[in-house]
Every structure is written in C-alpha cells, then in structure tokens.
Chain A
Amino acid sequence: MDESELIKGIQQGDHRSFQTLVDTYQRKVVNTCLVIVHNTADAEDLAQDVFLEIFRTAGNFRGEARLSTWLYRIATNRSLNHIRNKKRKGFFQSLEETFTGGKNRNSEISENGDDQPDHRITDRQRSDLLHRAIDHLPEKQRVAFTLNKYEELPYQQIAEIMEISLASVESLIHRAKKNLQEQLYECYRKKCV
C-alpha cells in the first residue's frame, strides 16, 4: 500500500490503513520522541498522541510533503513541548523546594570523578552524559542533530521537517557537533564520569 492509498484509507476511517501506518512508523516515531525526552513511557505516550493527531487530522493532509515528514514534525514538536512543560514545572518545583528547604536538583554536568579514581565508565554513564550534553544544545541544533544521527535522515528531509533551508540544517548540525564536542571535552578534562 503506497502513502497516498494509506492516507486515503485513514481519511475514510479505515481501521486497517491506520494500523498499517502505526506498524510502519511506530518505531521511528517512538525513537524520535525518546531521543528528545529520554524516558520510554513518556516517549510512547507522546508517540500515541502523534498517531491520534494523524487520525484526527488526516483530512487536512494534502500530500505536498512525505507522510514521514509530517510524522517527524509532529513528533518533534510534541516532544519539545513536553520538555518545555516539564522544565516549567521543574522550575516551580525547585522554587518550592528552595522555600521548603528541599533538595535543589541540578541537571548540569557535575564533577564526581575525584572520589572514584580509575573506574571503568559503563554504557549507562556514557549514555547519561551524552543525553545531558544533547539536552544542553539549543532546541534547533538538538532537533537537527538527533534527526540526522539517530534517525539517519538526510539533510534535505530535515530541512522539510523543520521548514528551514538546507544551508540552515548544515549550519545547525555543524554547530551542534562543535557544541557537543566542547561539552564532552569539558567533562573529559574534569573527569565528570
């Protein structure tokens, strides 16, 4: 079943077309959300919201862009909104903790290597460090970098998803890599893992 048939089926409320869409894109959509939110349960909930939105608004799809471009765009926008809301909540929570004397959580890359000299770094620690470094990238750099690195999308499709020029995508990914390298070097220098 090709894309236009799939969309036509969904627009007509055909359950099987919708299931085919979900089966085809579930992994991609969950992964896109997961890379931004770093939590499997949240990523799956968001991915479900993405498919619900497609189900609800399939009638508006005009076929100018690829279906996957539409899915990726909704997935990144919803994930970014999710962490923006979480940050806002976190801000008020930390304010509350400041006033109630609770612990103030800090997501900055911390130095904790001194008390653990000469230890082997586990994959889990490496992954946490990488996520924190990616989270510190400005939003557009983060989206362009993760779509390219995790989803292996070509620059042209990233440009379509983000609705920016190809040159902007190149520049965003270049700056993202430079930023990541700097952050990882700082961590390496200070033995943060």
Chain B
Amino acid sequence: MKCKTLHKDLIFYLDNELPIEKRKEIERHLEMCADCRNFYSFLQAEMQIIGKEKNPEPSPFFFTRLSARIDERPDFRQQSLWNRVAQPAFFSLILIAGIYGGLRFGSHASSGAIHQTSSSSVQLLNDFESEPIESFLLDQ
C-alpha cells in the first residue's frame, strides 16, 4: 500500500467504516511508515475535537431572555391568538354570510320570476337549497 492510498482512507479507518482486509492493510502500513503514523495521530486528534465540543453547557438565562423577547413583541402573542381563534371565526362568519345571502338571493330569484333570462344561474343557486348548511361547515 502506498502512502497516498492510505491518506484517502484514513478517515474511514478512524470511523470504523472499512472492510476487515482494508483495515489490516492500513495497520500493516502504519506499523512501518512513520510519516503516515504521524498523520494518523494528527487526524485522530483533529477528529477527537468534535467529541470535546459536543454539547456545550446551556446558558442559564436562555429562557429568561427568550421570554423577555416574547413579552416585548406583543404581536407574537396576538398573532398566535389570531391564528387560533379569530381567524377561523372570521372566515366562518364570512362563509355563513355568503351562504345566507346566496339562499336569500336564490329564493328571491326563483319565486319572483322577474327576469327568467339567466335560468342556468338560477338553477345553480337553487341547488344550494337542497343541501343542508351543516355540510358546508363540515367540509371546512
């Protein structure tokens, strides 16, 4: 095995990701090549840094600061309230108003017989009458 070949696989050797033959080959080379051995120690020490940097101590005031940021931005709370309650209520109201208006208009148009020219739209509006209002709300 050449030094160059070893340098390509050493990081996978460190992570135990190589087949057994390849591992053995690398170990044989490391035993007799001081330069590769040095690089191996260097690489190993570098990768061990990851373990030392993992999981830093959390800041004790993290949540206090976070709460303060939420409190100083009242729009956060209002926004969540709007999303939760006001927004669905608002759209339900519009929907109900629309359905009610449609029914009123529909019944007016069919009973009034003022202008029968747009009979297809009257037919369409009359269809609303045959369906219960609850089904519209359930679809939402």
Contact = CB atoms under 8 A, between A and B. Distances in A.
B46 A129 contact: yes
Contacts of B124: none
B70 A44 contact: no
B90 interface: no
A184 to B, nearest CB: 6
B115 interface: no
Contact of A177 (B15, B76, B83): B15
A177 B46 contact: no
Contacts of B55: 27, 31
Interface of A: 11-13, 19, 22-23, 26-27, 30-31, 34-35, 40, 44, 47-48, 51-52, 55-56, 58-59, 121, 123, 126-127, 129-130, 133, 149-150, 152, 177-178, 180-181, 184-185, 188
Interface in B52-93: 52-56, 58-59, 62-63, 65-66, 69-70, 76-77, 79-81, 83-84
A126 B45 contact: yes
Interface of B: 7-8, 10-12, 15, 38-39, 42-43, 45-46, 49-50, 52-56, 58-59, 62-63, 65-66, 69-70, 76-77, 79-81, 83-84
A13 B59 CA distance: 24
A98 B56 CA distance: 38
Nearest to A189: B39
Nearest to A11: B84
The 7 closest A-B pairs by CB, nearest first: A181-B11, A59-B83, A177-B11, A188-B42, A27-B58, A127-B49, A130-B49
Contacts of A180: 11
B63 to A, nearest CB: 5
Contact of A19 (B12, B63, B81, B83): B63
A55 B83 CA distance: 12
8 contacts: A11-B84, A13-B77, A30-B56, A59-B80, A59-B83, A126-B46, A177-B15, A180-B11
B59 A44 contact: yes
A188 B84 CA distance: 58
A184 B42 CA distance: 9
B54 A52 contact: no
Given A133-B46, A177-B12, 19 more contacts: A19-B63, A22-B66, A27-B58, A30-B62, A34-B56, A35-B53, A48-B62, A48-B69, A52-B69, A55-B76, A56-B79, A123-B52, A127-B53, A129-B46, A152-B54, A180-B11, A181-B10, A184-B46, A185-B39
